[in-house]
Protein backbone atom coordinates (compact mmCIF):
# COMPACT_ATOMS: atom_id res chain seq x y z
CA UNK A 1 0.00 0.00 0.00
CA UNK A 2 2.85 2.33 0.89
CA UNK A 3 4.53 1.65 -2.49
CA UNK A 4 1.31 2.45 -4.38
CA UNK A 5 0.96 5.73 -2.49
CA UNK A 6 4.58 6.70 -3.22
CA UNK A 7 4.23 5.76 -6.89
CA UNK A 8 0.98 7.74 -7.17
CA UNK A 9 2.53 10.74 -5.48
CA UNK A 10 5.60 10.50 -7.73
CA UNK A 11 3.43 10.33 -10.86
CA UNK A 12 1.36 13.31 -9.73
CA UNK A 13 4.53 15.27 -9.00
CA UNK A 14 6.00 14.37 -12.40
CA UNK A 15 2.85 15.39 -14.30
CA UNK A 16 2.47 18.62 -12.34
CA UNK A 17 6.04 19.76 -12.86
CA UNK A 18 6.96 18.20 -16.18
CA UNK A 19 5.59 21.16 -18.08
CA UNK A 20 2.86 19.14 -19.80
CA UNK A 21 0.08 20.96 -18.00
CA UNK A 22 1.81 24.29 -18.56
CA UNK A 23 2.15 23.76 -22.31
CA UNK A 24 -1.62 23.35 -22.67
CA UNK A 25 -2.39 26.82 -21.33
CA UNK A 26 0.56 28.82 -22.69
CA UNK A 27 0.40 31.03 -25.73
CA UNK A 28 2.36 29.74 -28.72
CA UNK A 29 4.45 32.79 -29.60
CA UNK A 30 5.89 33.44 -33.06
CA UNK A 31 8.44 35.83 -34.47
CA UNK A 32 6.94 38.55 -36.67
CA UNK A 33 8.47 36.87 -39.72
CA UNK A 34 6.84 33.54 -38.82
CA UNK A 35 3.48 35.25 -38.28
CA UNK A 36 3.74 36.96 -41.66
CA UNK A 37 4.47 33.63 -43.37
CA UNK A 38 1.62 31.84 -41.56
CA UNK A 39 -0.76 34.70 -42.32
CA UNK A 40 -0.10 34.33 -46.05
CA UNK A 41 -1.11 30.66 -45.83
CA UNK A 42 -4.10 31.13 -43.51
CA UNK A 43 -5.06 34.74 -42.73
CA UNK A 44 -5.68 35.69 -39.09
CA UNK A 45 -5.37 38.73 -36.93
CA UNK A 46 -1.87 39.33 -35.55
CA UNK A 47 -1.22 40.59 -32.05
CA UNK A 48 2.22 41.81 -31.12
CA UNK A 49 3.23 41.90 -27.47
CA UNK A 50 5.83 44.67 -27.34
CA UNK A 51 7.96 44.24 -24.23
CA UNK A 52 11.42 44.74 -22.79
CA UNK A 53 13.55 42.41 -20.68
CA UNK A 54 13.61 44.87 -17.77
CA UNK A 55 9.83 45.48 -17.66
CA UNK A 56 8.27 44.01 -14.51
CA UNK A 57 4.69 44.55 -15.72
CA UNK A 58 5.56 42.69 -18.94
CA UNK A 59 6.67 39.68 -16.91
CA UNK A 60 3.54 39.87 -14.76
CA UNK A 61 1.36 39.97 -17.89
CA UNK A 62 3.19 36.93 -19.32
CA UNK A 63 2.74 34.99 -16.10
CA UNK A 64 -0.81 35.96 -15.15
CA UNK A 65 -2.61 37.12 -18.29
CA UNK A 66 -1.12 35.20 -21.19
CA UNK A 67 -0.82 32.06 -19.07
CA UNK A 68 -4.55 32.12 -18.19
CA UNK A 69 -6.05 29.03 -19.87
CA UNK A 70 -9.03 30.86 -21.43
CA UNK A 71 -6.86 33.69 -22.77
CA UNK A 72 -4.09 31.41 -24.05
CA UNK A 73 -6.55 29.14 -25.83
CA UNK A 74 -8.40 32.04 -27.44
CA UNK A 75 -5.19 33.70 -28.63
CA UNK A 76 -3.78 30.44 -30.01
CA UNK A 77 -7.00 29.71 -31.94
CA UNK A 78 -7.67 33.20 -33.32
CA UNK A 79 -4.39 35.13 -33.60
CA UNK A 80 -0.83 34.78 -34.67
CA UNK A 81 0.69 36.04 -31.42
CA UNK A 82 4.10 37.68 -31.66
CA UNK A 83 6.61 38.63 -28.98
CA UNK A 84 8.69 41.66 -29.92
CA UNK A 85 11.50 42.94 -27.72
CA UNK A 86 11.33 46.71 -28.18
CA UNK A 87 15.08 46.90 -27.59
CA UNK A 88 16.11 44.00 -29.84
CA UNK A 89 19.28 44.64 -31.79
CA UNK A 90 18.54 42.22 -34.63
CA UNK A 91 17.26 43.37 -37.99
CA UNK A 92 13.70 42.34 -38.74
CA UNK A 93 12.17 42.24 -42.19
CA UNK A 94 8.39 42.52 -42.11
CA UNK A 95 5.95 43.33 -44.88
CA UNK A 96 8.81 44.13 -47.29
CA UNK A 97 10.59 46.58 -44.98
CA UNK A 98 13.72 46.00 -42.92
CA UNK A 99 13.65 47.46 -39.41
CA UNK A 100 16.73 48.06 -37.29
CA UNK A 101 17.79 48.96 -33.79
CA UNK A 102 18.29 52.67 -33.13
CA UNK A 103 20.84 53.51 -30.46
CA UNK A 104 19.54 56.26 -28.23
CA UNK A 105 20.74 57.10 -24.75
CA UNK A 106 21.63 54.10 -22.64
CA UNK A 107 19.13 51.74 -24.28
CA UNK A 108 17.71 52.60 -27.68
CA UNK A 109 14.72 51.11 -29.46
CA UNK A 110 13.76 48.93 -32.39
CA UNK A 111 12.20 50.70 -35.38
CA UNK A 112 9.47 48.07 -35.74
CA UNK A 113 8.38 48.54 -32.12
CA UNK A 114 8.33 52.31 -32.60
CA UNK A 115 6.24 51.93 -35.76
CA UNK A 116 3.73 49.58 -34.15
CA UNK A 117 3.38 51.87 -31.13
CA UNK A 118 3.31 55.09 -33.17
CA UNK A 119 6.40 56.25 -31.28
CA UNK A 120 4.68 55.94 -27.87
CA UNK A 121 7.16 53.59 -26.26
CA UNK A 122 5.29 52.18 -23.28
CA UNK A 123 5.65 48.63 -21.98
CA UNK A 124 3.86 46.36 -22.08
CA UNK A 125 1.86 47.37 -25.15
CA UNK A 126 -0.04 45.17 -27.55
CA UNK A 127 -0.36 46.12 -31.20
CA UNK A 128 -3.14 44.54 -33.24
CA UNK A 129 -3.15 43.98 -37.00
CA UNK A 130 -5.85 42.73 -39.33
CA UNK A 131 -5.47 39.84 -41.76
CA UNK A 132 -3.96 42.22 -44.34
CA UNK A 133 -1.22 43.03 -41.79
CA UNK A 134 -2.52 46.59 -41.44
CA UNK A 135 -2.08 48.14 -38.03
CA UNK A 136 -5.41 48.54 -36.22
CA UNK A 137 -3.88 50.17 -33.18
CA UNK A 138 -1.93 49.55 -30.00
CA UNK A 139 -3.10 49.30 -26.41
CA UNK A 140 -0.53 50.30 -23.78
CA UNK A 141 -0.33 48.98 -20.25
CA UNK A 142 -0.77 45.89 -18.17
CA UNK A 143 -4.08 44.08 -18.61
CA UNK A 144 -5.54 41.28 -16.50
CA UNK A 145 -7.12 38.24 -18.15
CA UNK A 146 -10.69 39.50 -17.51
CA UNK A 147 -9.77 42.93 -18.91
CA UNK A 148 -8.14 41.67 -22.12
CA UNK A 149 -10.72 38.98 -22.94
CA UNK A 150 -13.40 41.30 -24.39
CA UNK A 151 -10.77 43.28 -26.33
CA UNK A 152 -9.41 40.12 -27.95
CA UNK A 153 -12.93 39.07 -28.99
CA UNK A 154 -13.86 42.58 -30.13
CA UNK A 155 -10.96 42.59 -32.58
CA UNK A 156 -11.35 39.00 -33.84
CA UNK A 157 -15.08 39.53 -34.45
CA UNK A 158 -14.37 42.78 -36.38
CA UNK A 159 -16.75 44.64 -34.05
CA UNK A 160 -14.38 47.63 -34.04
CA UNK A 161 -15.74 48.42 -37.51
CA UNK A 162 -19.30 49.03 -36.33
CA UNK A 163 -19.28 49.76 -32.59
CA UNK A 164 -17.17 51.00 -29.72
CA UNK A 165 -15.45 48.68 -27.30
CA UNK A 166 -17.57 50.15 -24.51
CA UNK A 167 -20.78 49.20 -26.35
CA UNK A 168 -19.43 45.74 -27.14
CA UNK A 169 -18.52 45.11 -23.50
CA UNK A 170 -22.11 45.72 -22.37
CA UNK A 171 -23.25 42.47 -24.02
CA UNK A 172 -20.01 40.50 -23.79
CA UNK A 173 -20.22 37.17 -21.95
CA UNK A 174 -16.90 36.18 -20.41
CA UNK A 175 -15.66 32.60 -20.42
CA UNK A 176 -13.44 33.37 -17.43
CA UNK A 177 -14.90 32.21 -14.13
CA UNK A 178 -15.04 34.91 -11.51
CA UNK A 179 -11.46 35.13 -10.30
Give me the residue spans of the domains in the chain: 26-170
DSSP state of 28: -
State the CB neighbour count (10 A cutoff) for residue 173: 6
- CB neighbours of 54 closer than 8 A, spacing ≥ 6? none
The CATH class given to the 26-170 domain equals alpha beta
Please enumerate, as own/partner, the contacts of 18-23 that have beta carbons within 8 Å and a separation of 24 or more.
22/67
Average pLDDT value for the chain: 88
What residues contact residue 9 under an 8 Å CB cut-off, 6+ apart? none
DSSP bridge pairs for 49: 83, 126
CA distance 156 to 13: 38
25 pLDDT band, cuts 50/70/90, is low
Tell me the per-residue pLDDT of 71-114, one tens digit each, with 9 for 90 and over.
999 999 999 999 999 999 999 999 999 999 999 988 999 999 99
CA distance 53 to 85: 7
Q: What percent of the chain has pLDDT over 90?
A: 83
Answer positive or negative: Cα dihedral of 28, 33, 36, 38: negative
Answer with the residue of higher pLDDT: 2 or 31.
Answer: 31
Residue range 116-143: average pLDDT?
97
- Tell me: the pLDDT tens digits for 138-156? 999 999 999 999 999 999 9
pLDDT score recorded for residue 178: 55
The pLDDT value recorded for residue 170 is 95
* Dihedral sign, Cα of residue 113, residue 118, residue 123, residue 125: negative
Summarize the confidence of residues 18-26 as an average pLDDT: 48
Model pLDDT, residue 109: 96
> For the chain, what percentages of helix, strand and coil (3-state, to nearest 5) are there?
45, 20, 35
Q: How far apart are CA 124 and CA 135, in angstroms?
A: 17
pLDDT at 106: 87
Amino acid sequence: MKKVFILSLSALFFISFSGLAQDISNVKWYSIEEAEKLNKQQPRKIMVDVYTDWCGWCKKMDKETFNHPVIAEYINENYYPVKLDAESKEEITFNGTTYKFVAQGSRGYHELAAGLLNGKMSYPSIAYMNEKMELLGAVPGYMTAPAIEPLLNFIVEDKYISESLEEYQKNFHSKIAAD
